[in-house]
Amino acid sequence: MLSRRGRLWSWTTNHYAPPEPYVSPDPFVPYTVCAVELEAEQMVVLGQLATGADAEQLEVGMAMELVLGPLYEDDEHEYVVWQWAPAGGAR
């Protein structure tokens, strides 16, 4: 099992819709992808910035934690995905 916490290594905001199987909102909304370094594992893991977190508040080296957030939903299910959030709060 991987750590649930790490330090922000880098990030970028994508202004284009990714290819399937990703389900984009309509109309498309840009989203931020974070690269978080897991100290214990000595590896960098990519993940979307958590829903509600502000990309303008990100700083290299800040503590991040893994959370579950919505990906999309249909008539029968809500699909979730793991996301990175600033540790201690913004979600």
pLDDT tens readout for residues 8-63: 999 999 999 888 887 778 898 899 999 999 989 999 999 999 988 999 999 999 99
Q: Give residue 89's pLDDT.
A: 53
User: Cα separation of 36 and 46, whole Å?
Assistant: 6
Sign of the dihedral through C-alpha 91, 62, 33, 5: negative
Reading the block at residue 21, the tokens are 């199987």
Q: How confident is the model at residue 90 (pLDDT cuts 50, 70, 90)?
A: very low
User: Cα separation of 34 and 8, whole Å?
Assistant: 7
| pLDDT tops 70 at residue 66 | yes
3-state secondary structure of 10: strand
Displacement of CA 43 from its chain's centroid (Å) = 16
Q: Give residue 2's pLDDT.
A: 87
